[in-house]
Amino acid sequence: MAPILRWCVLFLLAAAALCPGDAAATQQTFDPEIAARAYLASVPSDKKARSDAYFEGWYWLELWGFLYGLGAAWLLLTRRWSARMRDLAERVTKRPAVQTYVYWLQFLPAAAILLFPLTVYEGFFREHQYGLATQTFWPWMGDRFKELAVSLVLGGLSVVALYAVVRRAPRTWWIWGALTATALWAFTVLIAPVVVFPLFNRYTRLTDESVRGPILSLARANGIPANDVYVSDASRQTTRVSANVSGLFGTLRITLNDNLLKRCSLPEIESVMGHEMGHYVLNHLVKGVVFAGILIVVGFAFLRFAFDAMTRRFGARWGVRGPADPAGMPLFAVLISVYLFVLTPVTNTLTRTQEAEADIFGLNASAQPEGFAEVTLKLGEYRKLEPSPLEEFLFYDHPSGRSRILMAMRWKAEHVN
């Protein structure tokens, strides 16, 4: 029996010695580049061409939308429609704050009407053309009227506050205006999840414990103080999958849309929620407000210089008296549009960097690289999966599908058992 036992012991020792070698061999045979390429190659050529055409169309729409907006604002100024709106507001009341608000009640609907042809093409016809929208026209219009109403109220209060700053600090308005605008932006981020979003979608508690449990477990494991998960009925508007962890302080809410529930597996859902939780844990909301604040300060300095230069030359012709005059609002809109258009690569890079950070966090938190890759392909239904480096730098506010899938496969390569 001794020789048999000895051979058994030797066999077990040899097997134990081979196990690490087998794992290493497995790791060596898994090539992230090949795996990523296989995922990308799984997309049918007609669907890839469709998503490429949709996303590339936005390159031109951004330009035409920018020029169209400039044309609408220029029309309000050169036809002196803006000055007439200001004159009407002054006839209604002698109080400057109320005058500003009365002007806003005229300006915003006028701008919406002028921009309506492009709005309806971009938001309705084009989305239906590419199979991304589910609403018929009148429900879609209903949402646009809600947006207008929200803007009339919240936007109007913001405009009144900003013009009050300009009146009270005529020399340094751009500094105090920037601080006020940043505070207003932070306030909007704070209240939007509980005040604004429910106006457009119905939010219900997720009751499927097979999905709710893993999501809350993921939240607890990453220090997120959430006790519930909500579902929005986004499918009544779109086919896109989406989720978010939004709000600050007491307004924190974990939300996924019903398309994500209907179209995605649990590993895909976990990878998406891990990504969204990454935004919260990495303080991207707060950092986003800080980044926005910096850009706002620089932008207001530009507004001060450019507005003064333009009104010195054209103010009398347009009937614009100065920065505190509401009739100059279309000019402010033009200058803000120019500023943001030029800064598009900068703002996209800031956002894209945060999205990449959230991707890494989500992979580490959920440990679902295949789920992440699969859901990235679903996002590729309306995002070009394989752009050139220049395209990604200029137009992408998220990493491209290729970059994200390769990141997931690299993560998997380092965790092969």
The stretch 113-142 carries a mean pLDDT of 96
- The confidence score (pLDDT) of residue 3 equals 42
Output 245 or 358, whichever has higher pLDDT. 358
Least confident of 112-116, 149-153, 182-186: 182-186
Inform me whether the pLDDT recorded for 305 exceeds 50: yes
| Confidence bin at 23 (pLDDT 50/70/90) | very low
**Domain range annotation of the chain:** 45-200+285-348
- The confidence score (pLDDT) of residue 187 equals 87
How far apart are the C-alpha atoms of 236 and 254, rounded to whole Å? 20
Inform me whether the pLDDT recorded for 247 exceeds 70: no
- The confidence score (pLDDT) of residue 191 equals 82
Residues 343-388: pLDDT tens digits?
999 999 999 999 999 999 999 999 999 999 999 999 999 999 999 9
Least confident of 20-24, 93-97, 409-413: 20-24
**Whole-prediction pTM:** 0.87
Least confident of 80-94, 162-176, 233-247, 300-314: 233-247
Residues 37-74: pLDDT tens digits?
999 999 999 999 999 999 999 999 999 999 999 999 99
Inform me whether the pLDDT recorded for 5 exceeds 60: no
User: What single-letter amino acid sits at 182?
Assistant: T
Inform me whether the pLDDT recorded for 326 exceeds 70: yes
Inform me whether the pLDDT recorded for 18 exceeds 80: no
- The confidence score (pLDDT) of residue 6 equals 38
Residues 182-201: pLDDT tens digits?
999 888 888 888 889 999 99
Long-range contacts of 394-400 (CB under 8 A, 24+ apart): 394/344, 394/345, 394/348, 395/58, 395/59, 395/62, 395/344, 395/348, 396/348, 396/352, 397/347, 397/348, 397/351, 397/352, 397/355, 398/351, 398/352, 398/355, 399/352, 399/355, 399/356, 399/359
